[in-house]
Amino acid sequence: MKLYELTEQMQGLQALIDEGELDPEILQDTMEGLNTDLMAKGKDVLLFMANLDGDIKAFTDEIKRMTARKKTLVNSHDWLKNYLRLNMIDCGITKIESPVFTATLRKAGKMVEITDEKALPTEYQELVPATWKILKAKIAKDLKADIDIPGARLIDAKRGLTIK
């Protein structure tokens, strides 16, 4: 019998007790039987919960392990990409082609460097919850249009590497 069925029987029995329709001897035997069954089912539920706890811990540990492994792989990938980019720059190579991949060295663009955040005019900042956000895209646009902005300047960006 299922736990909820035992509970329903216990509640039905309680209703009969409240109405006074049960013989005390029959009541005692029925209550003992239901209590024994409820205790056994309760123990089964507790054991199942313990198994679930073990599974949850195993999954949590595996997620941590895989997250660390992923971080290692991402770091290796990023290092190799930068290694290839630097060597292509040093050798004057702009493109490497293979049947599977093509690596292309992009031209270096310009990027905004904030030299003095306090000197930036407020029109280049935006208030986001509890802090100011610098609007670098707007700064870059105006600097490229030869507008002088205190606290900001354009610098050469790194040459990027595109792999397709």
**Number of folded domains in the chain?**
2
For residue 98, being part of any structural domain is answered with: no
Among residues 88, 123, 141, the one where a domain terminates is 88
pTM, to two decimals: 0.54
For residue 95, being part of any structural domain is answered with: no
Q: Which of 160, 114, 107, 155 is nearest to 136 (CA)?
A: 114
pLDDT exceeding 70 applies to what percent of the chain?
A: 94
Q: Which residue range is the domain that position 14 belongs to? A: 3-88
- By the 8 A CB rule, do 77 and 122 touch? no
> Do 82 and 121 belong together in one domain?
no
Q: To 10 degrees, the CA torsion angle through 63, 68, 70, 76? A: -170
> Do 24 and 81 belong together in one domain?
yes
Q: Quick one: pLDDT band at residue 40, thresholds 50, 70, 90?
A: confident
Which residue has 């790194």 as its token pair?
A: 158
Q: Which of 105, 85, 86, 83 is nearest to 95 (CA)?
A: 105
